[in-house]
Copies of this chain bind each other. A is one copy, B any other.
Amino acid sequence: MPMPRDEHQPVPEEPAPLRVIGTRPPLYGAVDKVTGRAVFGADISLPGLLHGKVLRSPHAHARIVSIDTSRAESYPGVHAVVTARDLPEGAGERFERDNTLAGDKVLYVGHPIAAVAAESPHIAEEALALIDVQYEVLPPVLDVRRAMEADAPLLHEALRTWSLAGQAASPSNVAEHLQHVKGDPERGFAEADVIVERSFTTTMVHQGYIEPHASTALWHPDGSVTVWTCTQGAFPVREHLSSLLHLSMARIRVVPTEIGGGFGGKASSYVDVVAALLARKAGRPAKVVMGRDEVLKATGPTPGTFIRVRMGARRDGRIVAAEAELCYEAGAYPGSSVGSGADTIFACYDIPNARVDGYDVVVNKPRTSSYRAPGATPAVFAVEQVVDELAERLGIDPLEFRLLNCAREGTRRVSGQPYPRVGFAEVLEAARAHPHYRAPLGGPNRGRGIAFGYWGNWAGQSCCTISVNADGTVSLLSGSVDVSGALTGIAMQAAEELGLELEQVQVRVADTASIGYTDVSAGSRTTFGTGLAAIEAACDVIAQMCARAARLWGVPVETVSYDRAAFTTSLDPTKRLSFRELAAQLSATGGPVMGRGNVDGDVLRRGGAPGLHIADVELDPETGKVTVLRYTAVQDVGRAVHPGNVEGQIKGGVAQGIGWALYEGCFYGEDGQLLNPTLLDNKLPTAMDIPEVEPVIVEVPDPVHPYGVRGAGETPIVPVAGAIANALYRITERRMERLPMTPAYILERMGVI
């Protein structure tokens, strides 16, 4: 990979100033998307298309005694009914398989059991009622701490806790116990002058994307299948289909449609296999579109958690010890985000002695999925209140306290490696310098809180190709789907590297048959990782074009270079070709030029993105209603490729964080029924609920990226609940130990009710 520039490398003389990166062009396809003209998952239509509907469990925990589909199969207009028996023998991982179509047990309300394909969605729904399922209902376990008890109902009789000590002997709902230790926590706490310990619980929260999951499958006579789906990553859907259908990847083509929100929730595949099974059995294409209730009942919430944090500091303000216990609800199958919660909880600080214990726990609720900075928000909600309390007890300004203790380049993380260059201090200093931090609150029942958050980012694997057109424009093919305007950021990096204007770069999202493996658009990786792939493809283009120029001029290729949109040779100052001029000559000098970029960004020692948020809130002491008055979010984004888009990410993350902090959540009855399966009852913030959020971009370039880019999309949600909780403390003198901080909870904490 030619791009990563070592920061210790001598800087070339007079580097060309950036022309495209840092500008704010309109996003690709934005008008098509907001006007609905773009093709989203549910928009796919094919001749002879059947409509699929899924039968879901009414019970949170039950054994399936029998399934009789015969009445549904003979219902007029029904073309296929499928159950887990239609999955190939032994295909796929057991848990993947069972979550797609239940095997012998159902584990949550909404668990898919069977599906029907019919001439219309209405017929399919009617036929669902004709499927006779006999259950043996079992007691559910819904709370993470209850699930960890020895006598709790067991979801998986074969599940044994995995930990560093190996696999436990007896069954448990705890799938994994992970631990990070740094220094000597006991000695650390012995040194501390002040120790704070608190416990926190947070509720499952749904990602709340507006577009429900939708998938359409078409089988071809040669036994191959095309699947159109709204997803954050077409390739993982292909792998999932390959595994569960026992089908070679060469027989699957996944075409990603435009996507109406994902936030991590569309990194999982729910209805793709079901659509494929229905289409195969019916011999006609089949589409499955989820209803809103299905989305809220059976897809991707982020874990509810129980988190205990204990921290100790010396009188001089130095944090000397910390420990945390994180218990995360995985939902029905193992795989919560406790790992990244544990990774993030102390990530902002340089703590010499620390221990983190994480528990991945199954409960009778839907399998959890990623949600923007998965696992980090509850952890930071917890730790930032404890840090705030420590500062208060020590009489130190909370921002100064964080600056005193913040991680720096070389600080070893509790969870592992030392940090490369990351702008923790720069972010804190920018926040301190911001007028908001010292502005008067301007009224009673108002408080200001801050919280410090971090997301480690991911880079993942990406592919791009860039083809040169004869008029000097180029066509960029991206393996990544266009989430959050990432495609524009990727194209901007290609344009910058190629010395072109952005409008000279045509850009398209590839299907899985058209480019190399590319990971999901998630983990704040896309602008960074797929950007690197685009840069690598651009470098490949430039190298090939240098060779053409060398051939045209009869000079050695090593003497040809490309800078400021011109090819020149060191041997003859009169020779000069612009990109456009050389592009016009490619056909006559050896044919077309297409470059490729194949990147694994995770081989690079990249840094994450810290963010410090300042929240002013007002509390109505009678109703407990909280109004966010002013909000400033300071963040190190490395380099803002498209500052407007980065600001949009920050504003969007803060908006989601405010919803999570104050009212969002999936609330379950004791029987495991989701009590709020509509967007009326599962309130998402609207424009009326969110103040003007001021994003403050700090640019501490990441040296492993040629333009210094860091992922920026997830950090904005991480500190929000913590900042609001700390603001509420200033008003209520109560620490908030629960999310969401609903009016009822706040009044309860205040002893009003």
Binding site for B on A (CB under 8 A): 26, 28-29, 31-32, 35, 37, 220-222, 224, 239, 242, 248-251, 253, 461-463, 465, 467-471, 473-475, 477, 479, 503-508, 510-518, 540, 544, 586-587, 590-596, 598-601, 603
The residue from B35, B37, B598 contacting A593, defined by CB atoms under 8 A apart: B598
Q: How near does chain B come to A633, taking the closest CB pair, in angstroms?
A: 30
Complex contact A465–B590 (CB within 8 A): no
Which residues of the other chain, B, contact A465 by a CB distance below 8 angstroms?
Answer: 465, 514-516, 594, 596
Q: Are B598 and A544 in contact (CB under 8 A)?
A: yes
Chain B residue with the shortest CB-CB distance to A603: B590
Q: Name the residue of chain B whose CB is nearest to the CB of A477.
A: B514
- A592's partner among B222, B473, B517 (CB-CB below 8 A) is B517
The listed residue (B220, B242, B250) touching A32 by CB distance below 8 A is B220
Whether the pair B503, A513 counts as a contact (CB closer than 8 A) is no
Instruction: With CB as the reference atom, state the residue of chain B lying closest to A223.
Output: B503
Further contacts, 20 of them, CB under 8 A, given A29-B222, A468-B516: A32-B221, A224-B506, A249-B506, A250-B469, A250-B471, A250-B505, A250-B506, A253-B508, A465-B514, A465-B596, A467-B517, A470-B517, A475-B512, A477-B514, A477-B515, A508-B514, A514-B514, A517-B591, A590-B603, A591-B598
Closest 4 CB pairs of A and B: A591-B600, A516-B594, A250-B473, A31-B221
Q: Which of B239, B463, B593 contacts A516 (CB 8 A)?
A: B593
User: Are B596 and A477 closer than 8 Å at their CB atoms?
Assistant: no
Are A596 and B595 touching (Cβ within 8 A)? yes
B residues less than 8 Å from A463 (CB atoms): 467, 592, 594
From residue A513, how far is it (CB to closest CB) to chain B in Å? 4
Contact assessment for B515 and A594 in the assembled complex, using a CB-CB cutoff below 8 Å: yes
* Chain B residues whose C-beta falls within 8 Å of the C-beta of A598 in the assembled complex: 544, 591-594
The answer on a CB contact under 8 Å between B242 and A471 is yes
Give the complex CA separation of A620 and B462 in angstroms.
69
**Cα-based distance from A416 to B520 in the complex (angstroms):** 56
Choose from B31, B32, B251, B518 the contact partner of A506 (Cβ within 8 Å).
B251
- Contacts of A479 on B, CB cut-off 8 Å? 592
* A471 cross-chain contacts in B, Cβ below 8 A: 242, 248-250
Chain B residue contacts of A507, Cβ below 8 A: 513
A468 to B600, CA, bound (A): 14
- For A475, the closest partner residue in chain B by CB is B513
Collect the chain B residues with CB atoms within 8 Å of residue A505's CB. 250
Say yes or no: A517 contacts B596, CB within 8 Å.
no
Whether B503 pairs with A250 at a CB distance below 8 angstroms is yes
Given contacts A468-B516, A596-B465, contact A250 B474 (CB under 8 A): yes
Q: How far is the CB of A137 from chain B (nearest CB, A)?
A: 40
Contacts of A467 in B (CB 8 A): 463, 514-517
| In contact, A504 and B600 (Cβ under 8 angstroms) | no
Known: A221-B32, A461-B587, A463-B594. A473 touches B513 (CB 8 A): no
Question: In whole Å, how far is A618's beta carbon from the nearest beta carbon of chain B?
Answer: 41
Which of A462, A516, A586, A591 has its CB near the most chain B CB atoms (within 10 A)? A591
Chain B residue numbers with a CB within 8 Å of A461 are 587, 591-592
Cα distance, A250 to B476, chains bound together (Å): 10
Minimum CB–CB distance for A359 against chain B, Å? 28
Contact flag A513-B517 (CB < 8 Å), given A26-B222, A222-B26? no
Contact B504 A513 (CB under 8 A): no
Q: What residues on B are CB-neighbors of A506 within 8 Å? A: 224, 249-251, 253, 513
Min CB distance A572 to B, Å, is: 25
Please tell me if the beta carbons of A587 and B517 are within 8 angstroms of each other in the complex.
Answer: yes
6 contacts between A and B (CB under 8 A): A248-B473, A467-B517, A475-B512, A479-B592, A506-B513, A516-B594
In the bound assembly, the distance between CA atoms of A37 and B504 in angstroms comes to 36
Cα distance A461–B517 in the bound complex, in angstroms: 26
Cα–Cα distance between A577 and B653 once the two chains are bound (Å): 46
A615 and B253 CA atoms in complex are apart in Å by 47
Shortest Cβ distance from A525 into chain B, in angstroms? Answer: 12
Q: What is the chain B residue whose CB lies nearest that of A218?
A: B37
Q: Are A517 and B469 in contact (CB under 8 A)?
A: yes
Q: When the two chains form their complex, are residues A222 and B513 in contact, meaning their CB atoms are under 8 A apart?
A: no
Assembled-state Cα–Cα distance A504/B252 (Å) = 11
Query: Nearest chain B CB to A375's CB is how many angstroms away?
Result: 23
Please report the C-alpha to C-alpha distance between residue A489 and residue B629 in the assembled complex, in whole angstroms. 67
Given contacts A544-B598, A587-B461, A598-B544, A514 and B503 within 8 Å (CB-CB): no
Q: How far is the CA of A479 from the CA of B465 in the complex (A)?
A: 13
List of B residues within 8 angstroms of A221 by Cβ = 31-32, 35, 37
Q: Give the distance to chain B from A219, nearest Cβ to Cβ, in Å.
A: 11
